Each structure stands twice: as C-alpha cells, then as structure tokens.
Structure 1
Amino acid sequence: MKDFAQETALVSVRDLRIGATTDAGRKIEIIKGVSFDIAPGEMVSLIGESGSGKTTIALSLMGHTRTGCAITGGEIRLDRHIVTAMSEKARARIRGTEVSYVPQSAAAAFNPSQRIMDQVVEITTIHGLMPRDEAEAKAVSLFRALALPNPETIGQRYPHQVSGGQLQRLSAAMALIGSPKLVIFDEPTTALDVTTQIEVLRAFRNAMAEVGAAGVYVSHDLAVVAQIADRIVVLKGGEIQEEGSCEQILHAPAHPYTRQLLAAFEPVLHEPSGVPDRVKHTPILEVHDLCAGYGPMRDGVPYAKILKNVNFKLDRGRNLGVIGESGSGKSTLARAIAGILPPYRGYTMVDGQEMPLDLAKRSKEQLRRAQIVFQLADTALNPAQSIGTILGRPLTFYHGLRGQAREARVIELLDMVRLPASLRHRLPGELSGGQKQRVNLARALAAEPELILCDEITSALDTVVAAAIIELLKELQRELHLSYMFISHDLSTVEAICDEVLVMYKGEVVEALPAARMSAEALHPYSRLLISSVPQLDTNWLNTLEQDPELIATFANR
C-alpha cells in the first residue's frame, strides 16, 4: 500500500469533542478529544464496537451531527475549509463537492419514484457543476469504473429494478460525481452477501484510485478493512485506543482492546457438547420434502415458490448451520419449521413427533419445545413494554407463573443471559443492540425449549458483541442441553457454533458439510464460491483472490 507519511494532510482533526443531551436532559461527552489526519488519496478506516463513535466522527467531517448532538470543542479542517467554524449554509455548499457520503443502506438513499440517472446527477445541478449531458457522460464513466452491468443504460432504471449490490455501487457513483476530495463510507457492505461484498469492495477501491479521492471507511469488520484501508484508527468509548498502518494493526497490535477485536474476529471452532446418556437418540428435528412460498395460492401452490423439497435431520445436542446468499431461502426455512409460514408440502418432526404445519394448530407443548429467535431484536421486542413484562408473558403462557414466582424466574432468565436484574424495569429502547438480543434469547429460554431456531441473530451486531453472544449460546447449550439451528451468511459464525452445515441456493439444499471442514470438503461449485468469498485478515487477500468468472456468472444473485 502507498506510503502517505510525507504527504500534507487533506483532513486534520484536532481535539474533537462531541456532546449529547439525553432524554432526561443530562449532558454527556461522546467523543473525547480525538485527533488524526488523512492524507490526499489515503483511505483511513475507523473501527470499533457499536457505540465507539465511528459514525459520529465520520459524520462530523461533513459538519454534521445527529439530533441531540453537537460539536463542543476542537477543530476539523478539510483542505482549505475549517469545517467547525463554518455556517450550516457554507457546510451545505461543500457537501457533494468537497466531501460526500456513502450510506450503509443505499436503498434509503434513493427515491423509488425517480430514475437512477436523475438522482446520481442531481448534485451537479444543485451546485451548477456542469451541463446535464456532461454530467450524464461522467455518470456513465463512473458506472463503468464501478463495474456495473450495462453502464450506458442502467441509469434509466428505477432503484427497485437493480440488486442490492448494484444499488450500493450506484450510491458510490452518486458520491463521486461531484469530484469530492474526501468520501465517507459508512459500513457500506454490512448488509451484503459475501460474494456481492467482494464485487463492491473491488469496485470501491478501483473507483477511488481512479478519481484520486481520499476516504474514511467506517466498519467493525476487520477483514473488510484489511482489503481497502491504508491506515486504521481504533476507537472505543469515543477515544482513540491505537492508530497505525493496516499491516501493523492487523499483525502487531499494541493495545489490548485491538487484540480483543482481533480475537473476536477469529472465534474458537465449535466443540460438540455431550448429551446425557439417558436422553434418547431420536433426532430433535427432522425435515422431510419441505416446500414453502409466498403469495396467493393456486391449486394448493403459492405464487412464489421458495423452498423446494428440503430434507435434513438434526441430532439432539448438536447444531446445524444453514448458509447461503440473500434469497436462498434460509429465513423462509426457519419460518416454515416454526409454522409461521405453513409449508404447502412436506412436514417437520420434533423429537419424533410430527408438527402441525400451521403454528395456530400446534399445542402449547409443541410450541414450547421449539422456539425461534429473530434477526432484529428491535422489531421483535414490543417497545412499549418493560423487559420484565416481555419475559413474563411466556412464563405465564407456558408454565402458569404469576406474581412473585414469575418475577423470580424473570430475574433468573436475565442472569442466564448475563444481564442485571435491574434491567427488567427498563424499556427495549433503553438497551444496547447486544442487550436487546440477549433479552430476545431470554424470551425463547422462558419456554424451556429443546430446540432454538436462530435466524441471523448476530448479523446486526458488531464483532465483539456477536462473539459474546456466540459464547453465551455455547454456555447455555452445555447447561441446558439445547440444540440450535443457526441461520447465517457469516461463515465464521457458523464455524464457531455448528457441527454440520447445509448450503442453500435458490430454495434448495445443494450440499451438506461438516462445519469444521467446510473449506476442505466442499464439492458443489456454489459452496466453493461462497466459502472462497469470505474475506481474510490479509491485506493482499483481495488482490490474490482468483475465482472462476463463469462460476460467478452462473451463480450471480446480485
């Protein structure tokens, strides 16, 4: 990577302090005296767990703070502009021309009712940068640089007519068309599948090199950062813990917190927990010829068929991973097994007993034995109810607990998931993402299940918190003799907790593999493509990655 040590700083941040006012009116400092520089053409990554201040600092480089926050001290200089001393009107003039932003969710950045080209070139009209035909020609050249298909015509489509990976690259084109000196990337590949992520990272890197812009890349994924960053700034609690070149941070970290981040990225492989001899050996879960889909039914078959004749079994005390890209049918499988989406063909058995296909037809005991934990705890927990009430409801429903007995069990459940008893009086909105997911898990445990279906439960969490949730699941399995079906697109997470893995593609199981030997034993071309696309903690990995273009074209799901 390029040496930027001798370059004059394009961005200079000195003793930056950002404060916030809580709902109760209390003032707190969230960014505490941060200082760093960015050279022209340099890509600097801000990493750290949720709440470390990554995005807050990145947004401040545009002079922007979230509602309730304000820059309270220090200085930010961008080229010849003192951003912290500018009026809001003056800051608006440099956004899109001197500094631009690529969001985590490109879908939220586009207007669904306008064509893509009109939105990409809009900034050039607002700032009077160039004539429309010149702006469109520049947009097409950016589409080409970002490796978008049909660069001459893709701008005529609407946002819903392109894939998530394409939309993310189009948001980069929108950010680059005003020729900014600095581009801020705010976790832009977090929501993408691994194979799509590779394309997008390559495209970002090539386009940035072509236009010569500097960048700030916000992420909690060290393997992604390794492919794109020249330098890394490690943050925790609004303070810099360590700063250095990508190679130094990844291979010779000096600060204990950086070492903790690296350790969390490489979880210990799963070792199966023992099942007591007295427990019978009937599989805890069997799935036979399961077919499910969405939309109106015709002749007993839904309009959109998703799952196609899925078969597998999960032995008691063992864990099964289900991997595949978005749209492969992973979450649909979990919903079909749980009865939330009744299959139109096939059946499931829990501990040798066939389950009614529809959730509403299952007995209380059948519901109790198999629980599901959803991906987004934010939407799974009622925001208007206290944690105590949320956990108390299944205790009353399944076990008839009320009053002091129920309260005592709520406290036990919170302790099980390593949360303090005092949390039962709080609302979900007052908890962190990791705490909410622990409550989500505690609610499933309230039923005293034998099987838990985990649907992408760590995908919205940062690396450190996700690693802690995985360790918690392992401890609970040892203590309670649970079995898990773990749905994820994160292969390292699957390796950390699963015994076997099913690889899904377009609603079908294309291969079953032992989790610990996925890479060595995968035979199906799609499995090999998926596994080879997982970024490694190696700054040269993307440069040396070789994948068969025909294979990529065959399994393109962009």
Structure 2
Amino acid sequence: MTGVPIALDLAVVARIADRIAVMYAGGIVEEGPARQVLSGPKHPYTRGLIRSIPDHLKHGALAAMPGVGDRPSGCAFAPRCRLGVAACTTANPEPVALDDRGHRVRCIRTSDVGPLQSVEEGSRTAPGRTRSEGIILDIRNLRAEHRSCSEVVVAAEDVSLQIRRGECVALVGESGSGKTTIARTIAGLHPIGGGNVVLGERQLPADVRRRTREDRRRIQIVFQNPADALNPRQTIGSAIGRPARLLRGLGKKEPADEVARLLDLVRLPQHTAQRQPGQLSGGEKQRVGFVRLVDLTTSSPSACRWRASAAP
C-alpha cells in the first residue's frame, strides 16, 4: 500500500514519510528523500520552514521569513527570499536535479542556500528571558465535569499549577485526557466543578460573562480548530477588529488601523481584511485566530511581533 500524507507538521512527516515534496503557491518547490530534504534543504522556503520550528534543546531566536507580499510573474517565493535576484522575477525556474536520488529543487540559487546551522545575515540572538517569581496565574484543585441528565463525567480533577511571569507552560496528555476542558475552564468557557482560578490576587468568577473586561483581556484562548473559531459570515477585518473594540474600547475608526498592524505582525497581506474565512487556508485562519486573541494591551507591537515571528 502507498500512502500520501498531507500535513503542516514536519515532525510528523519526518517520522512517517520516505520522500517529501514541499509546496509553495500551488507548486512543488523541492522534492527528495525525507532525511535529505530535512537535513540539507536546498530551497530557501524549505530552509525557512525548518528554521522556524522551535527547538527546546537549542537557544536562539527563531528565523522568521519576510511577509507574503504580491507574487511576481517569476518565482512565487521571490518577494520573501533573502537570496532573490532580478532573474527570479522574470521566469519560474525549472526543477533542478541535485543528485541521482530524486532530490529536485525549483531555484536558480541552490548553491547559495547555506546549511541549517549557519547564521543568516540580519538574524539576531534571542534576548535573555528571566523568570520572575511573581505568580501570574494560580490554578488550585481545579475540577471540570461534563454533565448530562443521567450522568456526570469528570474530565479533570485536582489540577493545580502556577504560571509565573515570563514562563510558557505546556499542558501535555493523550487525546481525551482533559487538556482542552482544562483550558476552557480557566478561560471561563466551561463550568468549574471545583477549585479556584486566581489571576494575580483576584479569584475569577467561573463564568466568563461575570468577569470584567480586564479579566477577559488578560486570559484569552486560541482554539485548535480555526475553521470553527471564526464566523464564516464575517470578514477577517471584522473578526480581528471586534475584540479590539470590546476589550480595548477603541473607537469606530481606530480598529481599521489596528487590523492592518496586526495582519502585518502575522505576515498576512492587507487585503486579507476584506476576505472571509472560507477564502483562507488552514494556516492563514490559524494566524487570524491567534492575532485576534493575542494580548492587545501592549503599547508596543514588539511583544506581539515576538509571538508571531515564526509564522511560516
């Protein structure tokens, strides 16, 4: 039996695929044996994808690619490519065979694509991040249940954790172990069956509708399925602008400028604001779902930009 998995998760692909074909703008830009493509990519887009994946064993900033921009008549990746030259915009390159094992790349500058461990010009060292001892979120003996007329199913019980300023905490477990229910309960979207959620020094009401605007602004959730998180009848501009109005009190004209700024932070073209969710890819919708719920209270876009810097 032959299988053709289609995925955005390179870690999964690396474990199950014998060969990898990398697509960009509707065409294959690199193809070859999985191990060879992942360890020695020869197309700038493939290299950029791999370098944008966080690695907990290595310290350093993720290498972000420039924004999408308008696609030229030649190579579709040219506006985002640091190696691009004038010839890249005149004609779409033909596939180049790099060896006899089927490693092929659509690029005229394959010899200039450096190894993955090299430092690109203009890249920066990740700023040092220190953890403060101040506890931002304190979850105490949390219990979450799913109730019906006939039974009560306990999704999570006696869950306690603390999150300090500067920390990123990952909640890991098998499918059905209660991760999503815990997250929804903390956000006030699922009833609390027991325990407390303390934000700073304030114990939060269980129901998000009883929380203050500041509470709702400080704890937000990015849903796993972006297709269900966005209203299919709303434009992307409306989906991003409405939280800015409700949570920040912006006027009627201010959200338009804020939508443009936020789209730029996640490397989406400005005209995306006029589109509807059904006109976007899954990855684009996930970026929209992220940026409409990111902490918008910062006076500088740098915090948002750091979070969005790895958007492929």
Category of TM-score, reference length = shorter chain: 0.5 to 0.7
Go from structure 1 to structure 2 and tell me whether the alpha carbon gap of 1:326 and 1:410 turns closer, same or farther (over 3 Å shift).
same
What is the aligned-residue RMSD (CA, Å)? 3.4
Give the aligned residue type for 1:185. G
Question: Who is 1:282 aligned against?
Answer: 134
Aligned to 1:423, the other structure's residue is in SS state: helix
Pick one of 345, 370, 393 that aligns with 2:242. 393
Structure 1: any 5+ residue segments left out of the alignment? 1-182, 188-217, 450-471, 479-492, 494-558
Helix, strand or coil for the counterpart of 2:142? strand
Aligned residues of 1:381 and 1:440 also touching (Cα < 8 A):
yes
Q: 1:388-537 maps to which residues of 2 (within 5 A)?
A: 388-445=237-294, 447-448=296-297, 475-476=306-307
Report Cα offsets for 1:481-525 as digits up to 9, x if no partner: xxxxxxxxxxxx9xxxxxxxxxxxxxxxxxxxxxxxxxxxxxxxx
Q: Cα distance, 1:475 vs. partner? A: 0.3
Q: What is the alpha-carbon distance in structure 2 between the residues aligned to residue 247 and residue 397 of structure 1?
A: 48
CA deviation map 1:398-444 (0-9, x unaligned):
23322222322332333333333332222122222222222212221
Equivalent residue, structure 1, for 2:195: 346
Q: In the alignment, what sits opposite 2:47?
A: 259
2:173 aligned with 1:324: yes
Say which structure is richer in helix: 1
1:284 to 1:474, Cα distance in 2 relative to 1, 3 A:
farther
Q: Distance in 1 between matches of 2:159 and 2:18?
A: 45
Cα offsets for 1:91-123 (capped at 9, x unmatched):
xxxxxxxxxxxxxxxxxxxxxxxxxxxxxxxxx
**Mapped contact 1:293–1:304 kept (Cα < 8 A):** yes
- 1:181-235 alpha-carbon deviations (Å, 9 max, x no partner): xx45343xxxxxxxxxxxxxxxxxxxxxxxxxxxxxx445455445554444444
Q: Does 1:241 align with 2:72?
A: no
> Given that residues 187 and 219 in structure 2 are in contact (C-alpha distance below 8 angstroms), is that contact kept between their aligned partners in structure 1?
yes
Tell me the residue number matched to 1:296: 148
- Aligned counterparts of 1:396 and 1:257: Cα–Cα separation in 2: 36
Are the structure 2 counterparts of residues 249 and 438 from structure 1 closer, same or farther at C-alpha, using a change threshold of 3 Å? closer
Which of the numbers 354, 360, 366 marks the counterpart of 2:209?
A: 360
- CA displacement at 1:395 relative to structure 2: 2.5
Matched-pair contact (CA < 8 Å) for 1:342–1:359: no
Contact residue 394 and residue 443 of structure 1 kept, 8 A: yes
CA contact (8 A) 1:273 1:318 kept: no
Name the larger-Rg structure: 1
CA distance in 1, matches of 2:43, 2:259: 38
Say yes or no: does 1:306 pair with 2:155. Answer: yes
Determine the C-alpha separation between the residues in 2 that align with 1:383 and 1:374: 15
Deviations 1:210-268 (A, max 9, x none): xxxxxxxx445455445554444444344443444444434444444443444345645
- Scaled by the length of structure 2, what TM-score is found? 0.65
Quote the offset at 1:376 in angstroms. Answer: 1.3
Give distance in 2, aligned partners of 1:392 and 1:383.
15
How far apart, in 2, do the equivalents of 1:232 and 1:444 lie? Answer: 34
Counterpart of 1:373 in 2: which secondary structure? coil
Conservation of the 8 A alpha-carbon contact between 2:31 and 2:37: yes
| Residues 297 and 364 (structure 1), Cα distance of their counterparts in 2 relative to 1, 3 Å cut | farther
What amino acid maps onto 1:346 in structure 2?
G
| CA distance in structure 2 between the aligned counterparts of 1:311 and 1:275, rounded to whole angstroms | 23
Q: Secondary structure at the match of 2:177?
A: coil
Aligned length: 240
Q: Whole-Å Cα distance in 2 between the matches of residues 292 and 228 of structure 1?
A: 36
User: In the TM superposition, what is the alpha-carbon distance from 1:380 to its structure 2 partner?
Assistant: 0.7
Counterpart of 2:47, as a letter, is R
1:33-432 paired onto structure 2 within 5 Å: 183-187=1-5, 218-264=6-52, 267=55, 269=59, 274=129, 282-296=134-148, 303-432=152-281
Query: For residues 226 and 256 of structure 1, do their structure 2 counterparts lie closer, same or farther at Cα, with a shift above 3 Å needed?
Result: same
Paired residue type of 1:282? G
Classify 1:185/1:400 alpha carbon distance in 2 versus 1 (closer, same or farther; 3 Å).
Answer: same
CA distance in 2, matches of 1:220, 1:441: 17
Question: Partner of 2:86 in structure 1?
Answer: none
Distance 1:386 1:224, change over 3 A: closer
User: In the alignment, is the contact (CA less than 8 A) between 1:338 and 1:371 conserved in 2?
Assistant: yes
Q: Secondary structure at the match of 1:249?
A: helix
TM-score by length of 1: 0.38
User: Does the residue aligned with 1:314 lie in a helix, a strand or coil?
Assistant: strand
Structure 2 residue identity aligned to 1:259: R
Q: Distance in 2 between matches of 1:335 and 1:474?
A: 25
Q: CA deviation at 1:281?
A: 5.1
Which deviations, in whole Å up to 9, do the C-alpha atoms of 1:249-306 show, x marking residues without a partner? 3444444444344434564557786479xxx8531110000010102378xxx70001
2:114 aligns with none
CA distance in 2, matches of 1:307, 1:412: 39
Report the Cα offset of residue 377 of structure 1: 1.4
Question: Any unmatched runs of 5+ in structure 2?
Answer: 61-125
Q: Deviations over 1:505-551 (max 9, x none)?
A: xxxxxxxxxxxxxxxxxxxxxxxxxxxxxxxxxxxxxxxxxxxxxxx
